[in-house]
């Protein structure tokens, strides 16, 4: 069901872009980025729901570890720049 929603959202987004282009109305970059992020998040959510639980846990743990390492690297870089 979520895949159907994501596909329809993608089609609606591209239809909206074509409509704005034909009418020669400007489209802001942040609007396009936000809509793409929403559509991709629906696809990702549907993909994760299709997984079995042990694989889902492994993926979520790896995502959180990646987030933790990024935050740690940014913190350490900020500390070195202040010194």
Tens of pLDDT, residue by residue over 17-50, are: 888 888 888 888 888 888 888 888 777 777 777 7
pLDDT at residue 45, as a whole number: 77
1: tokens are 């069901």
Q: Are residues 46 and 60 in the same domain?
A: no
- Give yes or no: residues 29 and 44 share one domain: yes
How many other β-carbons are positioned within 10 Å of the β-carbon of residue 46?
Answer: 15
Cα–Cα distance, 80 to 5 (Å, whole number)? 46
8 & 37 share domain: yes
Measured CA angle at 75 (ends 77, 33), to 5 deg: 95
58 & 34 share domain: no
Both 16 and 39 in a single domain?
Answer: yes
Beta strands in the chain (DSSP E): none
pLDDT attached to residue 1: 67
Instruction: From residue 39, give the alpha-carbon distance in Å to each of 4, 24, 33, 83.
Output: 11, 24, 10, 42
**Co-location of 39 and 61 in the same domain:** no
Are 10 and 44 part of one and the same domain?
Answer: yes
- Per-residue tokens: 67: 């987030």
pLDDT, tens digit (0-9, with 9 covering 90-100), for 47-63: 777 777 787 788 888 88
Domain of 41 in residue numbering reads as 1-50
């Amino acid at each position: 069901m979520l895949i159907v929603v994501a596909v329809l959202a993608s089609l609606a987004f591209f239809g909206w872009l074509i409509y704005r282009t034909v009418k020669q109305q400007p489209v802001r970059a942040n609007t396009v980025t936000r809509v793409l992020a929403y559509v991709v998040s629906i696809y990702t959510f549907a993909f994760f729901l299709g997984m079995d639980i042990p694989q889902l846990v492994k993926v979520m743990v790896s995502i959180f570890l990646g987030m933790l390492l990024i935050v740690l690297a940014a913190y350490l870089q900020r500390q070195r720049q202040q010194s």
